[in-house]
Amino acid sequence: MKADPKGVLTGEHYLDGDHACAEGAIAAGCRFLAGYPITPSTEVAERVSERFPQVGGVFIQMEDEMGSMAAVVGAAWGGVKALTVTSGPGFSLMMENIGLAAMLETPCVVINVQRGGPSTGLPTLPGQADMMQARWGSHGDYELIAVSPNSPQECFEVTIKAVNLSEKYRVPVLVMTDECVGHMTEKVVIPKADEIELYPRRYTKLPPDQYLPFKPGKDLVPEIVKAGDGYKIHVTGLTHDEKGYPVMNWEVQEKLVRRLVEKIRLHADELVDIEEMQMEDAEVVIFSYGISSRVAIPALQKARGEGIKVGLLRSIICWPFPEKKIKELSSKVKAFVVVEMNYGQMYYEVERCVCGKAKTFLVPHGGGWVHNPEDIYNAIKEAVK
C-alpha cells in the first residue's frame, strides 16, 4: 500500500536527522508516539508533537521510559502504528518492554539517538556504544532488527523502512542513530506519497473460532488482530502456546523461543542492507555504520591516493548482522578495519565471521566526538603491512 499523502511533506527540506526521523515516521503512517524527553533525541518528539495534531495523530509525553514503551506496545495492539524515541539512559529503561514487544510480537519502532555512556555519560555528544544493548538488552533470547542511518536523508528513509519491517516481521525495530547524525542538518528530499511503499499490518482474515493468535505462517510470523474486533484474544509475556495461553514447560518454551529467534535469523539474507564503496578491488575493508562510516571516507580517500586498495562496507541494517557477506569477503581480502564509536561491539561480530581468514583491526573511540580520520588511515596502513 502507498503512504497517505496527508502525512507526507513532499519536497526539498533542510532538516536535522531527528526531524527527518519524525517525518519518516509520519510518512510511514505512525500516528502514536509516547515518549519521555532525553537529549539528544527530544527534537523527534518535539516535531511529532507539533505535526501530529495536524495529521490526526496522538502524542503523549509519559512519566518515564518504562511507561513510554509500555504505552507503545498497548497502542500497537489498539490498532495504530506506534513509536517512541530516546537515548542511552532511556534506552536502558525501555528494555523491559522491548522484551515484552518481542514476546508479544508487537510491531513498533524505537529510535535511539545514541550519546556517550555509560550512565549519564555525555548527554549532548555522540556515541555508538548501545549496539550490543540493542541486540541483547532485554533479558531472554529473542531477535529483533536494528537499522543505522548516516545522514538526515537516510534518517527519513530508514525510519520508514523500520516501520515496514516491524509490520512484516512483527518485531520491535530499532533505529540506532547517534547525536551527530541526529543534530546534523542537511538537505532531505521527501518523495511523493505514492512513491512511498508501506507494508500493511498482517491482520488475519480468519473468523474468531478458527484464529490462533500465535500460530505462525510459512515465514514463522503469525497473523495479528487488534483489540475490540471480537476475537477475545489473550496475550501474555509468559511463555505461551499458539492460542496465546501460558504454558510452563520446556517444550512450549523451546518452540516459542526458537521461532522468535528464527523468524529473523532465517530471513537474515533478505534483510541485509549494506552499502559498498570502492569495494571492487579492495584488499582492506573498512566496516562501519552510522556517523563513523562517514568519518572513514577521508581516510579511505587518503589511502586510495597512495594506491592502497581499500573499500568501505557500511551496514544500514546492523541486526541481523551481515554475516554471509563478511564470511564471503574474508577469504578474498587481507584485512578488515572496523570503525565504531565504542571499544568493540560490532567488531567482535566481524572477527567471529572472519574466523581468522583475514586480519581484523578495531579503531575504537570512547564517544563524545567522532574519530580522527587520521587514526583510521593509520589502521589501514597497519592492515596492509
Among 63, 251, 270, 281, binds another protein (CB under 8 A): 63
- Sign of the Cα pseudo-torsion (238, 244, 247, 251, in order): negative
- Of residues 123-152, which lie at the interface with another protein (CB under 8 A)? none
**Torsion on CA atoms 149, 152, 154, 160, rounded to nearest 10:** 100
Residue with smaller CB distance to another protein, 241 or 375: 241
In 3-state terms, what secondary structure has residue 374?
A: helix
Q: Using CB under 8 A, which of the segments 186-194, 234-242, 250-258, 263-271 binds another protein?
A: 234-242
- Of residues 238-257, which lie at the interface with another protein (CB under 8 A)? 238, 245-246
Among 123, 191, 216, 237, binds another protein (CB under 8 A): 237
| Angle between helical axes of 17-27 and 152-169 (0-180°, round to 10) | 40
Question: Taking the complex as a whole, how short is the minimal distance between the CB of residue 43 and another protein, in angstroms?
Answer: 21
Question: Taking the complex as a whole, how short is the minimal distance between the CB of residue 37 and another protein, in angstroms?
Answer: 14
Among 46, 215, 216, 226, binds another protein (CB under 8 A): 226
Q: Which amino acid is at 306?
A: E
The answer to whether 144 and 170 are in contact (CB under 8 A) is: no
C-alpha closest to that of 140 among 219, 236, 256, 268: 256
Residues 6+ apart with CB under 8 A from 85: 21, 33, 35, 41, 44, 45, 110, 111, 112, 113
Question: Taking the complex as a whole, how short is the minimal distance between the CB of residue 8 and another protein, in angstroms?
Answer: 14
Question: Taking the complex as a whole, how short is the minimal distance between the CB of residue 3 and another protein, in angstroms?
Answer: 12
Question: Taking the complex as a whole, how short is the minimal distance between the CB of residue 142 and another protein, in angstroms?
Answer: 14
Question: Taking the complex as a whole, how short is the minimal distance between the CB of residue 336 and another protein, in angstroms?
Answer: 39
Q: In this structure, what DSSP letter does residue 259 have? A: H
Asked if 197 is part of the footprint of another protein (rule: CB under 8 A), the reply reads no
Among 21, 26, 32, 325, binds another protein (CB under 8 A): 32
> Distance between alpha carbon 23 and the CA centroid of its chain, in Å?
16
Among 35, 40, 57, 116, binds another protein (CB under 8 A): 57
C-alpha closest to that of 312 among 347, 334, 284: 284
The answer to whether 313 and 324 are in contact (CB under 8 A) is: no
Among 10, 79, 191, 274, binds another protein (CB under 8 A): 79
Question: Taking the complex as a whole, how short is the minimal distance between the CB of residue 46 and another protein, in angstroms?
Answer: 16
Asked if 299 is part of the footprint of another protein (rule: CB under 8 A), the reply reads no
C-alpha closest to that of 222 among 275, 169, 262: 169
In degrees, to the nearest 5, what angle opens at C-alpha 88 toward C-alphas 85 and 91? 55
Among 5, 56, 118, 140, binds another protein (CB under 8 A): 56
The answer to whether 70 and 95 are in contact (CB under 8 A) is: no
Q: In this structure, what DSSP letter does residue 138 have? A: S
Question: Taking the complex as a whole, how short is the minimal distance between the CB of residue 138 and another protein, in angstroms?
Answer: 10
The answer to whether 219 and 171 are in contact (CB under 8 A) is: no
The answer to whether 296 and 320 are in contact (CB under 8 A) is: no
- Of residues 91-130, which lie at the interface with another protein (CB under 8 A)? 96-97, 99-100
Asked if 366 is part of the footprint of another protein (rule: CB under 8 A), the reply reads no
Residue with smaller CB distance to another protein, 31 or 371: 31
C-alpha cell at 155: 534518517
Q: Which amino acid is at 60?
A: I
Asked if 234 is part of the footprint of another protein (rule: CB under 8 A), the reply reads yes
Among 41, 42, 68, 112, binds another protein (CB under 8 A): 68
Residue with smaller CB distance to another protein, 37 or 118: 37
**Residue whose grid cell is 488482530:** 225
Which chain residues interact with another protein by CB under 8 A?
6, 29, 31-32, 34, 53-58, 60, 62-64, 66-68, 70-82, 96-97, 99-100, 167, 200-201, 226-238, 245-246
